[in-house]
Structure 1
Amino acid sequence: MFVPSQLSLSLDNDSHHPLHVQIYFGIRDAILSGRIAPQTKLPSTRALAEMWSVSRSTVVLAFENLTAEGYLQSQMGSGTFTCELQPDRFLRVDGKLPTKKDLPPKDRRPIELSKRGQQMLGQYQMRRQLVDQPHPFRPGVSALETFPIAIWRRLTSRRWRSMSSSSLVQNEPFGFRPLREEIARHLRVSRDVHCEADQVVVVSSTQHALALIAQVLIDPGDPVWIEDPGYLRAQFSLSAAGATLIPVPIDAEGFNLEAARRANPNARLAYVTPSHQYPLGAVMSLSRRLEMLEWANRENGCIIEDDYISEYRYAGRPSTALQGLDELGRVLYLGTFSKVFSPALRLGYLVLPPSLLEAFQAERSLVDRGPSYFDQAVLSDFLKEGYFDQHIRKMRTLYSDRRQTLQNAIKANLEGFMEIGANDAGMHVLGWLPPGISDVSVTTLLAEHGIMAPPLSHYCLRPHERGALLLGFTGYAEERLVRTVELMSDILRQEYPSRFGQAGE
């Protein structure tokens, strides 16, 4: 028989938990511990309110929460009872383990991967060795200490306060429309991209955008022109999708279209970084851009334009995006916010030609639903209220100073062994090594001393004529850059004493 003392509670008016929450936890714990058996009738809310010296509405609120979660049930004319089956039963395992005789024989053979899985695993392991070490001069690292956390926190809090149940249902396959409108506005002003919000797809990363493109435009075995050397993740993403990569050399004018035609005239898709070639830094000339557009129109081809760090130019005005010259809808334009803020943000965009909208809507609806709408909403506020432009201006000044510091330190400590390539944009500089010196060997040597400087060779699909190191500067304070260059100089002088003074010879 139920005894009211089984529900004896010590309520604390000074607790950070309201009284109705304390009552909720007290009754729930009594039910789960077995002090109150299933299908037990509870005293009335009025009786419990008198016993606990609280208002009846406080007890009613606790009962409503317990009923909503399945701990209590109300029976008309009879009162309130504990449920026969408690909700926790459906949320937790029973903890009963099978005996050895019930287990199948042990089989330690590894699960076989598909050919694509094996390829992706090998590429991932190589990339992890190259760029996942948090040391200078790992390229592509943002100055995370400058992230506007206070502003982001305030915008996030404001969004949560204005959240309604209707805002939890979002059905647009291309993403949160206000963010797409802000992205379109930003690209029209800053990059002369010709687009409307309907053409913008919100993605989590460049790889995400490339995976979407591959689903719609690439069949296994299709030849795809790709810059050589080029962006590793683009190589991995496209090859993992089954594309046959056709390496295309880079010269002073960027992507060499004539060489591409000679390598494989049947390609109908090309991946390029025309505004700042990764990793060499070349800017595609206007004549080359027009030639590529003419090729795409004549051969019914498509161009993937990755404008990955267009915001970071330190001298002169940026060139118009290739997409801004495209009048026939042949360019798919990619960009990301990860390099501007933090990789943890995981937001980017894909701008589609109008003719591909329906196909990508179908793909997005069936295969993928994109990043969190809440994160998209906060970013849309960040863009709309001008904080993004402020942050870019601040970062451009900071990165320009760090770039100059790195170049000065290399000139002072490594002159004669390393030459810095001309580069007015981006998040890294190229340090060219003397002819005959293996950049892979130099990378390995420096890594033994905690210095991360990826070799140009690992970005190449074919051997490059001269070795170089990618030296990222954006994520490291100026004094740390100088100290690391000085350490690098000591290491290289000991290993290659006779080669200093021979760079470029």
Structure 2
Amino acid sequence: MSAPDFIDLNISRNKPLQEQLYTALVERIKSGRYPAGSQLPSSRAMSKSIGVSRNTIIHVIEQLKKDGFLVSKASKGVFVSPIFSACIDKITNISKNASKTELSLPSLSNQDKLSAIENTYWPDSHPFSPGMPDVKSFPYKKWGKLFHRHQENIKFNGYGDINGYQPLRELLSDYLNSTRGTFCTPDQIIITSGRLESLDLCARLTLDAGDTVLMENPGCTRARFLFNTMHVNLKPLEVKQGVLNVDYLMKNELNGKLLCLTPNQQSPLGGIIPFQERLEILNWAEKNKCWILEGDSDNELFNEGIPVDSIQGLHSSTPVIYIGGFSRVLLPNLRLGYLISPKPLVPAFKNAKMQLSGPCPLTHQVILADFIREGYFTQHARQMRKSYQEKLDHFFGLMRCDLSSSINIISKRSALNFTLNIPGHNDVKISERLFKKGFGSTPISPYYYCDNSKENGLVLGCANTSSCDRIRFISTLKDLLT
């Protein structure tokens, strides 16, 4: 069987002839126009039919043979490869069948539990997305200067220490001990790619299938998702007036392997656990042989109240793993976080990180260390704290004028995360409608675990908003609630 001639092939003199001919032949073979086993005309006939030199034809045919589209048969000529065409036919048939019938896929692990967590959200760049900093005000020139200082330094283009860049860990140790009330040495700090990696490492090192995890309810949905994949038992703990109900924990003889807490800004309700209750939690954990996973965030940018010292730093040796990060204070795409490990666990964390994810990008760690050492970090945080306070004041001033009867304020400690209660409304649907209008938000109700007394509300952030954004948001939300 011979392939058709090329009388319908249009050649443009404005493009490379070999490229045009190669592409045209490939498309005709893939489409089945030149089927498997069909013979191409001779190079002389093709040259005459197309109107290009025979050398051009020969070059293209040789390339097609190298790429598997064509084969030569001694004393017979050049033919379309039957092997390649068979593969094309198989792919085409699968595609056609897939459009008619749904493919049967393997099941997911632990699917029944994972599918129960719905309506979870990841922050985006929309105005009012919680956790999104004011990226327009970041000191890019200062960061860029530090980047250029180190970008060609070969020793910073390798993998680096699995625990993180030593000078950065030294700076962090001093900073966290003085501002967070932690009690740690540089060797206890492990640099991660963010809070989610820190959480994953902690869960893998402390939990086995069947263990019990105690969690605030409402509480972090991503932590809940991770724990469900590990086949552990989740025990929700009551949150009262925006913080963990410590009396409930003390009086109900609860046993668990891990207690997951956000004591400085409860997620999502924003409350702060008082100092005395932190001592009670720590004493309870030591007595019951339970690890505490202490999540911390945004303390540099709090606009209301002074952060209470961390639970991790209440004693020199505690069963507490402390995690934090830089994405909200600096830039989301920095993707650097940290955890403070109890000293006995440091080798285990180092080995787990080595096996599961490896070291974090070294150049960013080096730049961040200089950024902190040269005072840019503190300066930026101070400027943002002032700017965010002005934005919060403007937003809540607008809200008092137009929405005071429809909304209750749950927390307003930080412009990055504040929480509003919207009684009588479906917060998931309100959040979806806001998104269609160009605004970010996170509904509160998905944070609750197996609880019929869910509150309806929104977690918002106005750090990444302009004055016009705030005015337009209040007007939009007012329309949605009336």
Report TM bin, short chain: 0.7 to 0.9
Which residue identity does 1:126 align to in structure 2?
Answer: N
User: Residues 336, 121 of structure 1: CA spacing in aligned structure 2 closer, same or farther, 3 A cutoff?
Assistant: farther
Once residues 482 and 273 of structure 1 are traced to their aligned partners in structure 2, the CA distance between those partners, rounded to angstroms, is 32
Once residues 145 and 158 of structure 2 are traced to their aligned partners in structure 1, the CA distance between those partners, rounded to angstroms, is 23
Tell me the equivalent position of 2:352: 363
Tell me the equivalent position of 1:458: 446
Tell me the equivalent position of 2:109: 115
User: Residues 414, 95 of structure 1: CA spacing in aligned structure 2 closer, same or farther, 3 A cutoff?
Assistant: farther
Tell me the equivalent position of 2:38: none
Question: Is the 8 Å Cα contact of residues 268 and 296 (structure 1) preserved in structure 2?
Answer: no
Deviation (angstroms), 1:300: 1.3
145-154 or 264-273, which moves further after superposition? Answer: 264-273
Deviation (angstroms), 1:279: 1.2
Question: Is the 8 Å Cα contact of residues 274 and 308 (structure 2) preserved in structure 1?
Answer: no
Once residues 376 and 242 of structure 2 are traced to their aligned partners in structure 1, the CA distance between those partners, rounded to angstroms, is 35
Deviation (angstroms), 1:171: 5.2
Question: Is the 8 Å Cα contact of residues 422 and 457 (structure 2) preserved in structure 1?
Answer: yes
Match of 2:119 among 102, 126, 151: 126
Which residue identity does 1:273 align to in structure 2?
Answer: T
Deviation (angstroms), 1:131: 4.1
Tell me the equivalent position of 2:68: 96
Question: Is the 8 Å Cα contact of residues 421 and 431 (structure 1) preserved in structure 2?
Answer: yes
Which residue identity does 1:216 align to in structure 2?
Answer: L
Tell me the equivalent position of 2:224: 235
Match of 1:140 among 131, 135, 147: 131
User: Residues 170, 471 of structure 1: CA spacing in aligned structure 2 closer, same or farther, 3 A cutoff?
Assistant: closer
- 2:123 matched to 1:149? no
Once residues 116 and 262 of structure 1 are traced to their aligned partners in structure 2, the CA distance between those partners, rounded to angstroms, is 33
Deviation (angstroms), 1:356: 0.7
Where do 1:30-109 residues align within 5 Å?
Answer: 95-96=67-68, 98-102=83-87, 106=94, 108=98, 109=103
Over the residues paired in the alignment, what is the CA RMSD in angstroms? Answer: 2.6
1:409-444 per-position Cα deviation (integer Å, ceiling 9, x unaligned)? 11111121112224333622222223x433234334
Question: Is the 8 Å Cα contact of residues 176 and 376 (structure 1) preserved in structure 2?
Answer: yes
- Counterpart secondary structure, 1:234: helix
Once residues 478 and 292 of structure 1 are traced to their aligned partners in structure 2, the CA distance between those partners, rounded to angstroms, is 42
- Counterpart secondary structure, 2:151: helix
Deviation (angstroms), 1:364: 2.0
User: Residues 277, 205 of structure 1: CA spacing in aligned structure 2 closer, same or farther, 3 A cutoff?
Assistant: same
Once residues 386 and 362 of structure 2 are traced to their aligned partners in structure 1, the CA distance between those partners, rounded to angstroms, is 32
Question: Is the 8 Å Cα contact of residues 206 and 334 (structure 1) preserved in structure 2?
Answer: yes
Deviation (angstroms), 1:249: 1.7
Which residue identity does 2:128 align to in structure 1?
Answer: F
Once residues 289 and 142 of structure 1 are traced to their aligned partners in structure 2, the CA distance between those partners, rounded to angstroms, is 29
Question: Is the 8 Å Cα contact of residues 223 and 243 (structure 1) preserved in structure 2?
Answer: yes
Deviation (angstroms), 1:132: 4.9
Match of 1:159 among 150, 154, 157: 150
Where do 1:393-412 residues align within 5 Å?
Answer: 393-412=382-401
Where do 1:1-400 residues align within 5 Å?
Answer: 95-96=67-68, 98-102=83-87, 106=94, 108=98, 109-116=103-110, 126-127=119-120, 130-132=121-123, 134-161=125-152, 163-164=153-154, 166-170=155-159, 172-252=161-241, 254-260=243-249, 265-400=254-389
Tell me the equivalent position of 2:468: 479
Question: Is the 8 Å Cα contact of residues 246 and 264 (structure 1) preserved in structure 2?
Answer: no
Once residues 334 and 116 of structure 2 are traced to their aligned partners in structure 1, the CA distance between those partners, rounded to angstroms, is 27
Deviation (angstroms), 1:464: 3.5
Tell me the equivalent position of 1:52: none
Which residue identity does 1:440 align to in structure 2?
Answer: V
Deviation (angstroms), 1:121: 7.4
- Counterpart secondary structure, 2:301: coil
Deviation (angstroms), 1:118: 7.6
Question: Is the 8 Å Cα contact of residues 219 and 243 (structure 1) preserved in structure 2?
Answer: yes
Question: Is the 8 Å Cα contact of residues 415 and 461 (structure 2) preserved in structure 1?
Answer: no
Which residue identity does 1:459 align to in structure 2?
Answer: Y
User: Residues 477, 320 of structure 1: CA spacing in aligned structure 2 closer, same or farther, 3 A cutoff?
Assistant: same
User: Residues 236, 160 of structure 1: CA spacing in aligned structure 2 closer, same or farther, 3 A cutoff?
Assistant: same
- Which of structures 1 and 2 has the larger relative contact order (alpha carbons within 8 angstroms, sep 6+)? 2
Say how many residue pairs are matched.
Answer: 395
1:337-388 per-position Cα deviation (integer Å, ceiling 9, x unaligned)? 0011122100010001111112112212222213111111111111111110
User: Residues 242, 378 of structure 1: CA spacing in aligned structure 2 closer, same or farther, 3 A cutoff?
Assistant: farther
Question: Is the 8 Å Cα contact of residues 212 and 235 (structure 2) preserved in structure 1?
Answer: yes
Once residues 99 and 170 of structure 1 are traced to their aligned partners in structure 2, the CA distance between those partners, rounded to angstroms, is 42
Q: Percent identity?
A: 27
Q: Displaced runs of 4+ in structure 1, greater than 6 A?
A: 261-264
Which residue identity does 2:108 align to in structure 1?
Answer: S
Question: Is the 8 Å Cα contact of residues 131 and 452 (structure 1) preserved in structure 2?
Answer: no
Which residue identity does 1:155 align to in structure 2?
Answer: L
Tell me the equivalent position of 1:496: none
Which residue identity does 1:229 align to in structure 2?
Answer: P
Once residues 113 and 262 of structure 1 are traced to their aligned partners in structure 2, the CA distance between those partners, rounded to angstroms, is 42
User: Residues 248, 101 of structure 1: CA spacing in aligned structure 2 closer, same or farther, 3 A cutoff?
Assistant: same
User: Residues 116, 342 of structure 1: CA spacing in aligned structure 2 closer, same or farther, 3 A cutoff?
Assistant: farther
- Counterpart secondary structure, 2:313: helix
In the superposition, the TM-score normalised over structure 1's length comes to: 0.72
User: Residues 94, 273 of structure 1: CA spacing in aligned structure 2 closer, same or farther, 3 A cutoff?
Assistant: farther
Question: Is the 8 Å Cα contact of residues 329 and 354 (structure 1) preserved in structure 2?
Answer: no
Once residues 242 and 112 of structure 2 are traced to their aligned partners in structure 1, the CA distance between those partners, rounded to angstroms, is 36
Which residue identity does 1:439 align to in structure 2?
Answer: D
Deviation (angstroms), 1:331: 0.8
Question: Is the 8 Å Cα contact of residues 405 and 482 (structure 1) preserved in structure 2?
Answer: no
Once residues 478 and 116 of structure 1 are traced to their aligned partners in structure 2, the CA distance between those partners, rounded to angstroms, is 46
Once residues 297 and 239 of structure 1 are traced to their aligned partners in structure 2, the CA distance between those partners, rounded to angstroms, is 25
In structure 2, runs of 5+ residues without a counterpart are 1-64, 70-82
Match of 2:417 among 415, 423, 428: 428
Where do 1:479-498 residues align within 5 Å?
Answer: 479-493=468-482
Once residues 145 and 160 of structure 2 are traced to their aligned partners in structure 1, the CA distance between those partners, rounded to angstroms, is 27
In the superposition, the TM-score normalised over structure 2's length comes to: 0.76
1:298-355 per-position Cα deviation (integer Å, ceiling 9, x unaligned)? 1111101111212122133221111111333211111000011122100010001111
210-219 or 360-369, which moves further after superposition? Answer: 360-369
In structure 1, runs of 5+ residues without a counterpart are 1-92, 494-505
Once residues 242 and 218 of structure 2 are traced to their aligned partners in structure 1, the CA distance between those partners, rounded to angstroms, is 14
Which residue identity does 2:227 align to in structure 1?
Answer: L
320-329 or 176-185, which moves further after superposition? Answer: 320-329
